[in-house]
Amino acid sequence: MTEHHDSDGFFDKPENIKKMLKVFYVLCALLVVADFIVHRHIYHDWENIPAFYAIYGFVGCSVLVFVAKAMRKVIMRGEDYYDE
């Protein structure tokens, strides 16, 4: 017996995704603005660069994606690996 749900999940509705993305972008912008307002105790000179932590996080995540793509070419096995 299969159950049929008439209502879609929260993440299945495109309008909810758009709202979540808007909230995410506003939070990101507020955090960058807060970087100029909040006093930080820095240990290295490069931490004085405006929006340093935002740039550092973006570059770090981008590097992770590119490394993962390269690793996929080395590690990934064929679709019929278990059927051989």
Domain boundaries, the chain: 10-75
Residue 2 has pLDDT above 70, yes or no: no
Question: 3-7, 56-60, 74-78 — which one is most confidently predicted on average?
Answer: 56-60
Mean pLDDT across the stretch 49-70? 92
Residue with tokens 């909810």: 16
- In 3D, which of 49, 54, 61, 55 has the Cα closest to residue 27? 54
23-56 tens-digit pLDDT: 999 998 998 888 888 888 889 898 888 888 888 9
Q: What is the per-residue pLDDT for 65? A: 97
Sign, CA torsion 48/53/55/59: positive
